[in-house]
Structure 1
Amino acid sequence: MKNLTHQKIANVLASNGYLSERVLNVLRASTVYCLDLSSSMNNEGGLNLSGQDVLRVLDQPHSFRFLSELCLSGTSLRDSDLVHIQRLSNLRKLLLESTGIGNEAIFLLTGLKQTLTHLYLAFNPKINNDAIPVLEIFLSLSFLSLFDTGIDMSGLRRLALVICKDNRVVDIEIPVCCEEYIDNLQSKYMINPRAPLIVDSSVCAQLSEAALARNLAAHAKFNTAIVASGTKIEMIERLVKILETREMDLVVRDMLWGDQDGIP
C-alpha cells in the first residue's frame, strides 16, 4: 500500500468506469496528473449514471490543479460541456475524439490556448473551416489531430500559413481528402516552373498574351482541366489563381512533410 498514489487510484477507478461526480469530488484536491473519463461517462449497461455531470467537478475552484492530461474520447458531449474544463490551468493534452462536438466547442477552449500542447479532435465531422481562426491562436500546440473532421484544403491552407508565419512546428493529422490532395499535387499544376515560366502571381498582369498562354499551357500538361487560351484578362485571372493556390499548397506540404525545397 505504501506505493499507492492518487494517480494509481484514479487509473484503477477510470478503467472500471467508477469516476462519478462523487468520486471526483473526493479526488479533486489530490495530485492527479491524468484523467480518463471515457468509461465513466459512458452509459453502457446503465452502470454509469453521472453523464456530463462529472465535468462540473472540474469547474470548481482549485479542482485538479495538477491535471495535465484529460481524455474524453468516445463520450457524447454537447459543445457547451467544454465550458467546465477552462479552469484546468495546467492542462497540456486534451483528447476529444469521437465526441460529436462542433465549432462552438473549439471556441470554448480558448481559455487553454496558452497551455495546450496536444489536441485531439479526430472523428468530429461537425468541426469545419469556421474553427480555423480559433485553432490559429493555440500557440503552444505541437500536435493537432484533425483527421475525419469537416476541415478541407481551404481551412488547412489558412492554418498552415499562420503556422509558417510564426515559425512554429506542429505535427498535424489531416482529413483523408486533404492528404489525397497533397499527395497528388503533380496532377493540379506544374509544381516547379522554371524560367521563363513564372511563380510570382503578382507579375501576371505584366505578361504578354503569348507569355500568359505559355505559362498556362505548361500547367495544362499536368492538369487537362486548365484552359490555356481566352482573353488576356481571363488568362491573367486564371494564372493568378493557379500560382496563388500552388504557393499555399506548398506551404501546407512543407508543414506536413518538412521543407521540400528542390523536391518535385
Structure 2
Amino acid sequence: MESLIQLKNISKSYKKQTVLENVHTTFQKGETVAIVGKNGAGKSTLLKIVGGLIKPTKGSVTIDTSIGLPAFVVEQFPQELPFRLQDYLFHMGRIQQISKKKLLLKIEELLETFDMTEYKYEEITSFSKGMKQKVNMMQAMLGSSELLLLDEPLSGLDAKAQVDVEKAFRRLKDRGMTIIFTCHEERLIQVTADRVITIGAHKILRSQRIECIDKLAVIEADFIMNKPIRELKGKCAKVEQHGSRYTLYIRKQDMNQLLKELIDVRADIHRVEIIEREDY
C-alpha cells in the first residue's frame, strides 16, 4: 500500500493536561483503520489531528494532498434540519462551491451508495437516527476527498441502523476509500477494519493488522463465571460484560466448542449470530 498520512512525534496538551505524547503512526491509502481505547484516552483528539481540525502541540503531520481535504463526519449531527434530503445535500455542496452539474451527479452517486434514493424528496426531520447518520456521512463526502474520518459513527444507533451504516462502510471500502474511525462496537471493527490502533496512557499501545474474517460468531449469554475470565478471553476475539450478561465474539469454526462449554456451565444463551463479510 502507498503511504497517505504520517504522524511523527505527535503530542497534544490542553493547558497542563497531556492527551497524546510522542505518537508515531502511518496510514496507508485504501485501508480502513479503527481507533479504540477507553473514554478520554485521546481517540477523538488523534482523529482531529489527522483531519487537520486541531494542531498538535508538538510533532508533524504529513499528508498526501492529492486526495483533497479530508471528509470529517461530526459526532453530533443536527436532528432538526428543515430540508428535503436532496435539497440539503445540494445546499451543502453549493456552500463548498461545487459546480451544479458535478454536484447533481455526486448526489445521485451518494444516494445510491447509501440506499437513500427513494428518500431524496423526503423531509430529513422524518428520518430515523440511522438515516440521519447516513445523511451526515453523505454531506461530508460531497467533495472529491478519498479520506473519510468518523468519530463514533454508530453512537446512539439501534441494531438495524448499525447494520445499515456497516453496509455503507463496506461499499466505500470496496471503492478504495481510506476510512479512519473511532469506535467501541466490536462488530463494526470485525466486518470492516484492516487495522486496529489501541490508544492508552497518552500513547499508541498497539497497532495491529487484523486478519480478514469471513465469518464471526456472536454469542450473547447470561452466566456466572466459574472459569478464569482470562481462559475465556483467550478463546474469543473480544468479550464484553454487562452485569451477568456476556457478549462473546469468536471465529465461526470455534463456535460449537464454546457453546458446549457454556451449556456445561448452565449458561442462559440469548442470541447466536453469524457475521459474514460477503453480506456487506
TM-score, with structure 2 as normaliser: 0.29
Which protein has greater RCO, CA pairs closer than 8 Å, 6+ apart?
2
Q: Which has the higher strand share?
A: 2
Q: Which has the higher helix share?
A: 1
TM-score, with structure 1 as normaliser: 0.30
